[in-house]
């Protein structure tokens, strides 16, 4: 299949959207992506917007009324099947602080669902956010279940999550945390600093031990200070660390989003931190098995009863558009939603349009809204436009 578009952005380093462009696909893999006129008559010709790699979200607590912490296989498949509507083609289902035994049971259950429930967005593994976090920076996490990362607790999660545990968020200042980071990293699990009251020096020691990420930069962590840089200060200056950023413009102000991209180019990964309320009308939903309230449908995040922000209702394509609205160049905003997270989790076959990469593509409208999504070269979502209906699977 050959898809032609008014502009193609491959997210290769230094690439910019230059009109027109095309992508050739064979056997679910990109064989060529380029700028200029198509080498032959295209099978699909997009009338406007641009063609980009599929978006990758490393923090999804739930969506469409479903919370992963309480979801069965059918519910996982429902979310994976619908995420392409938002341009997301790969993601990490995320579960938050709970008793270790409960998290282990969730991981064992999830092992039967990954990596492709129902043929929708790719499940890249599971992100466990907590329970090894700082009580003072717990955010919406239940303090009753917060605990230290003892060797026994870490081994229980590793055993239960064999083959599926991909990312753990923890606070590196806790007793035993540096040993836990080293053990998780040695097992091939990515470690992210988050929900932490760590100093910059403690974050640096976490990176020394093997941490490579910071969870939702600026949120639920010791803030940036002019004498003590805190978690954000180390995150933005330490080239070993890539930071997740919730660009709903509620969690982080537009000006601070600009600062993050300027301070750490190529090391910002857009995430949604979406909760079960995402894609749903205002009302009550669950996060970590406990109630949250989505107060409106205007992008405002959900909250606990005490007003604490509890996840988001953000779409990945909206995150890209919001970043652009903050003054971030389009190529940088899209890289933060594609190539940067793909590289962080060791998936060079995702997040770019290049020969040999998976044919995960998104057609974005001029206002950066998803119009069609392909996963492995097969149409996974279309808004019904005639230009994409021809590419629907038989």
Sign of the torsion angle spanned by Cα atoms 150, 153, 154, 155: positive
Distance (Å, rounded) from C-alpha 311 to C-alpha 308?
10
3-state secondary structure of 373: strand
62-63/66-67 β-pairing: antiparallel
Distance (Å, rounded) from C-alpha 221 to C-alpha 230?
8
Task: Specify whether 273 is catalytic.
Answer: yes
Question: CB atoms < 10 A from the CB of 277, how many?
Answer: 30
From 57, 248, 273, 360, the catalytic residue: 273
Question: CB atoms < 10 A from the CB of 223, how many?
Answer: 12
Q: Which of 72, 140, 133, 81 lies closest to 105 in space, CA to CA?
A: 72
Q: For residue 70, what is the DSSP state?
A: G
Q: For residue 303, what is the DSSP state?
A: B
Distance (Å, rounded) from C-alpha 392 to C-alpha 377?
10
Question: CB atoms < 10 A from the CB of 1, how many?
Answer: 17
Residue with tokens 């917060």: 146
Q: Which residues contact 311 (CB under 8 A, 6 or more apart)?
A: 61, 62, 140, 273, 274, 275, 277, 278, 287, 292, 301, 302
Q: 40 and 64 in contact (C-beta within 8 Å)?
A: no
Instruction: List the catalytic residues.
Output: 273
């Amino acid at each position: 299949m050959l898809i032609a578009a008014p502009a193609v952005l491959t997210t290769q380093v230094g690439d910019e959207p230059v009109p027109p462009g095309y992508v050739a696909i064979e056997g679910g893999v990109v064989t060529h992506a380029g700028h200029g006129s198509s080498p032959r008559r295209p099978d699909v010709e997009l009338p406007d917007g641009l063609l980009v790699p599929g978006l990758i979200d490393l923090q999804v607590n739930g969506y469409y009324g479903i919370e992963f912490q309480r979801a069965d296989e059918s519910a996982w498949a429902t979310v994976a099947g619908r995420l392409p509507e938002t341009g997301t083609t790969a993601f990490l289902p995320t579960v938050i602080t709970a008793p270790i035994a409960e998290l282990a049971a969730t991981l064992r259950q999830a092992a039967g669902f990954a990596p492709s429930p129902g043929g929708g967005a790719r499940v890249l593994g599971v992100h466990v956010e907590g329970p090894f976090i700082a009580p003072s920076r717990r955010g919406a996490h239940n303090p009753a279940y917060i605990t230290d990362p003892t060797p026994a607790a870490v081994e229980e999660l590793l055993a239960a999550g064999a083959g599926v545990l991909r990312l753990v968020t923890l606070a590196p200042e806790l007793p035993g945390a540096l040993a836990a980071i080293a053990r998780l990293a040695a097992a091939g699990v990515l470690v992210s600093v988050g929900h932490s009251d760590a100093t910059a020096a403690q974050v640096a020691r976490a990176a020394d031990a093997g941490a490579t990420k910071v969870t939702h930069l600026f949120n639920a962590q010791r803030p940036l200070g002019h004498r003590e840089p805190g978690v954000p200060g180390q995150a933005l200056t330490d080239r070993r660390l890539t930071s997740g950023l919730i660009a709903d413009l509620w969690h982080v102000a537009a000006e601070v989003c600009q600062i993050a991209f300027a301070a750490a180019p190529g090391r910002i990964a857009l995430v949604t931190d979406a909760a079960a309320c995402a894609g749903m009308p205002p009302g009550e939903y669950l996060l970590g098995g406990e109630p949250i309230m989505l107060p409106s449908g205007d992008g405002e995040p959900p909250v606990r009863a005490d007003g604490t922000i509890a996840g988001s209702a953000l779409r990945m394509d909206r995150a890209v558009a919001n970043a652009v609205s903050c003054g971030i160049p389009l190529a940088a905003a899209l890289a933060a939603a594609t190539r940067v997270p793909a590289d962080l989790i060791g998936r060079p076959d995702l997040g770019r349009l290049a020969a040999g990469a998976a044919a995960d593509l998104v057609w974005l409208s001029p206002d950066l809204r998803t119009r069609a999504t392909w996963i492995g070269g097969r149409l996974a979502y279309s808004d019904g436009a005639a230009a994409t209906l021809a590419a629907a699977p038989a």
